[in-house]
Amino acid sequence: MKGRGAVPLALARALRPPPGKCYHHCGRLVRATSIASPLPGRWQVYACPSGVVSVTSYVEWTRRDPSAAARAFLARRTIPATAVRARDLRLATRHGPELGRPVEQILRAAERRPMRVVYWRLYPFKARDGTERRLFVCLRRRHTGPVFFPASPTDGRARCPVCAAGRKRRARSQRPAA
């Protein structure tokens, strides 16, 4: 755990939703992926194998509202950062009884601090050219963290703008000098 606000693994597991399907895209199972951050809580990205994000959640064990810190983190990891809007973030307060008896006992022993969950869901939208856009995530190891970006789901595998920029740089450096 990382200190004040850190979430024990037992609490994080209790907050994990049951597996679901990628509706309106591919119908395959959505998987949860933990992502690292400098914040004390835990991040989970729920995405299908193609990278379409269903929801991203940040859990912190605190009384304060962690929405501003979560929004700042997401804006740093999203291209363009303007895709992270306050209206797309939802704050929920979770207490022991709804999470089960073992979790309730942990919360009761710890000053009765609630779990604060910030959900980020960017619903599909139309771009200026009329094409549908959805939120994708790239979790490749060459990144320092996740890269969120809107793209068309009909283009097959969406191209991460950071990976695409890296490929262009590598291609330019491998050209023979004239």
Tell me the Cα Rg of the chain. Answer: 19
- Taking the C-alpha atoms of residue 120 and residue 47, their distance in angstroms, rounded to an integer, is 13
Q: In what order do the strands lie in the sheet with 31-35?
A: 31-35, 42-47, 53-61, 115-120, 89-94
pLDDT, residue 1, reads: 43
Judged by DSSP in three states, 44 sits in strand
What pLDDT score was predicted for residue 172? Answer: 56
Angstrom distance (rounded) from CA 136 to CA 146: 10
Q: How far apart are CA 54 and CA 51, in angstroms?
A: 9
pLDDT along the chain (178 residues), means of 10: 66 73 76 89 89 90 91 95 93 79 74 82 84 88 85 76 72 54
